[in-house]
Amino acid sequence: MTEPVRDPRHPAPWIYVLFFCSGFPALIYQIVWQRALFALYGINIQSTTIVVSAFMLGLGLGSLAGGVLSHNTRMPVVLWFAIAELGTAGFGLESLNIFHRVAELTARGSLLQTGLISFLLIVVPTMLMGATLPLLVEHLVCRSQNVGRSVGGLYFVNTLGSGMACFLAATVLMRRLGQSGSVLFAAGVNALVALGALVYGLRSEPAEAESETGERWRRSSPHKPFFPFCLALLCAAFSGCAALSYEIIWYRLLTFASDDTASAFACLLGSYLLGLALGSRFIERYSLDHGRGSALPVLGNFMLGSAVIGFAVGPGVGLIFRFASPNHPAWPAYFTVLLLICFGALLFGAIFPLIAHVSVHANPAAGAAVSYLYAANIVGSTVGTLVVGFILMDRFSLFQISLFLLLSGVLLAAVIFGAGGQPIRRLISTFVPTGAGVLLVIVLSRPVFNTIYDRLLFKNKYPALHFERVVENRSGTIGVTPDGVVFGGGVYDGRFSTDLLHDVNIIVRPYALSAFHAAPRHVLMIGLGSGSWAQVVANHPQLEDLTIVEINPGYVDLIPQHPQVASLLRNPRVHIVIDDGRRWLVRNPGEKFDAIVMNTTFHWRNHSSNLLSVEFLQIARQHLNSGGVLFYNTTGSDDVIATGLSVYPYALRFLNSLAVSDSPLMLDPARWKTVLLGYVIDGKHLINANDPQQMKKLDEIVNIKTGPPGPEWKFVEDNDQLRRRVQGRLIITDDNMGLEWR
């Protein structure tokens, strides 16, 4: 039976304005705090999952707390909202200082300790954020007597504000203000929202308490819901799980096609949140003209549509980039993909307010009931992050994970239709063609999923250019072409080659270690990649031990299949650790090395500044023996060079890499030549001393010229030349993050 539709009072627009503004700082905090915690505890998958899950769980607990307050408080709920915003602002102002102080005390803790500490660090502010929705729902349901409209409207404006904050962070805040400035801006917005809420609450709540509508609302009794509340909780949890799972999948695809820049994540998140907001807006308008009973089939259709469209976004991204060019800006393709993601998220955005509309009655317990739904939605989101990001991506392909989500969504949609009391015959007649359509989508998408990374990277050059092998795991995606070129996360990551005389991957750089260090016996390498650099260093004639810290175990799986580097894993002098390099250094303060070597990724990639910032260079400095050298790839960035010079007194540029030390650095061609003549890899001498052509090539290599950088950076620069040339360049810090957002 359809419930009669009320003619609700128009809620005060200031509540929507305040909640819109409240969404701004929430996402800015999330972006900055996650980034800050990753820098402190590492950016491997364990730390990432822990930080994100802790953030989500804090929101869930806050939702429950807000529900309790909304139903059991004599103080106006809008004033509680103001207190929550003010508390968030206060924590935000000191948040980065708190994170750094706690990290100094707990840097060497276990994974469990890291998880607990991360949770405790952000549980208070995230609880305050999570409490705001049920509090304001209670206020608006009192005025409008319509749960769907209240939840839809609030969810719309808050999510819209969060989405706008993502685009603002990507285009202005993070690149102009850095982490500390962005947090300061967010805290200022929180304070203004709190002030506005105080003014609004003090002026409107007394009048509301005396109104006839408010009196009827307080005296209203619970009604039997059209939709079982336990099933509503299940739907809210699954919707959150599916939405966050698909966000993880879409992020991996987009970043593989867009060089994994920091702004790509913010733009994707902004598009995703914009879609959620538009879906909520639709339900807000829909709830004005439709009662709860008639909305139940609509919920089933949205659940079914979100399952199908969410699944289809993945192959859709692959097809869109298939028509872009790898040699030209692909912004039309990126924009189209963001629109597609926005549309996929729109369906998920409609589900939560619809669930509230059909399962929660407009009475004094509405805020508490919505808090349970919101908490279930957040728990589902957390489970999606943990299960998909931490477990399933290590065992299944994106197609298999997406297929599981699709079939689960279709099954739940069938349950929703069944709960609506429709005849079995009608359900069968509806789901038979639906099932056929779903099967068709699966069959058509399978070939695209199988080659999706080829399409994303090579775009319209596919299939002429393609991957021979792809390794997917929870740490990322690695592709290898038939000619041995490695792409990690969609970016060139080297070749399987250690041939110095036919150098195709600037492999001369790790061979040059003895050119500026007399005896590199104990060496640390951060980053394994193709293993080519590691193979060179591991076979250095003077080496005694090589420790390699690699964040993605997928590279270890690739190495045995390539003869140039396969013996690396059997070398007794080599010890490989799967961890975040920076975190490993912090957790092993007693480890000292003659040289630390890093074939660092491009300086503009997301999280690259974790290994390029002043703070990291200072950490590495503490792990160098007397006369030790840090040698790393600058990828042609003068900012990276200037940052190295700001920490170390001595430097030497070799091609596009930089050696820095606390001791003077000089290139010694004679010593270098002697070491190269002693090199033996897999039982074969690197240089045949009896071959005049090879000896001539060796002399050309070791007698590299000194001078300013040319078009291909084929020279060496000494300390004085470097300092004169890079004056005034940006010094990369954890706070400004170099060029990642620029």
pTM > 0.95: yes or no: no
Q: How do residues 248-286 score in pLDDT, each as one tens digit?
A: 899 889 888 886 577 877 888 899 999 999 998 888 888
Q: What is the pLDDT of residue 224?
A: 53
Class of the domain covering 505-725: alpha beta
pLDDT band at 217 (very low <50, low <70, confident <90, very high): very low
Q: How do residues 478-511 score in pLDDT, each as one tens digit?
A: 999 999 999 998 889 889 999 999 999 899 999 9
- In the numeric block, the tokens 């929870």 are attached to 474
- Answer whether residue 205 shows pLDDT above 70: no
| Residue of higher predicted confidence among 423 and 656 | 656
Contacts of 494 (CB under 8 A, 6+ apart): 485, 486, 505, 529, 530, 532, 533, 599
Q: What is the pLDDT of residue 605?
A: 87
Contacts of 110 (CB under 8 A, 6+ apart): none
Q: How far apart are the first and last CA of the chain?
A: 57
SS (H, E, C) 133-193: HHHHHHHHHHHHCCHHHHHHHHHHHHHHHHHHHHHHHHHHHHHHCHHHHHHHHHHHHHHHH
- Helix/strand/coil percent split, the chain, to 5: 65, 10, 25
pLDDT band at 523 (very low <50, low <70, confident <90, very high): very high
What span, in angstroms and rounded, lies between the C-alpha atoms of 411 and 406?
A: 9
Domain range 13-450, its CATH number among 1.20.1050.10, 3.30.429.10, 3.40.50.300, 1.20.1250.20: 1.20.1250.20
Choice among 33-42, 352-361, 562-571 with the minimum mean pLDDT: 33-42
Q: What is the pLDDT of residue 2?
A: 42
- In the numeric block, the tokens 């506005």 are attached to 196
pLDDT band at 323 (very low <50, low <70, confident <90, very high): confident
What span, in angstroms and rounded, lies between the C-alpha atoms of 236 and 373?
A: 6
Residue type, 738: G
Round the average pLDDT of the chain to a whole number and report it.
86
Q: What is the pLDDT of residue 486?
A: 95
What are the start and end residues of each CATH 1.20.1250.20 domain in the chain? 13-450
Report, as an integer, the average pLDDT of 64-73: 75
Contacts of 659 (CB under 8 A, 6+ apart): 516, 629, 630, 631, 651, 652, 653, 665
| Residue of higher predicted confidence among 292 and 671 | 671
Q: How do residues 441-470 score in pLDDT, each as one tens digit?
A: 999 999 999 999 999 999 999 999 999 999
Max distance between CA atoms of the chain, in angstroms, equals 103
Q: Angle at CA 655, nearest 5°, toward 654 and 659?
A: 30
Q: How do residues 289-306 score in pLDDT, each as one tens digit?
A: 766 667 788 888 899 999
Q: Which residues pair with 491 in a beta bridge?
A: 488
pLDDT band at 8 (very low <50, low <70, confident <90, very high): very low
Q: How many residues belong to the chain?
A: 742
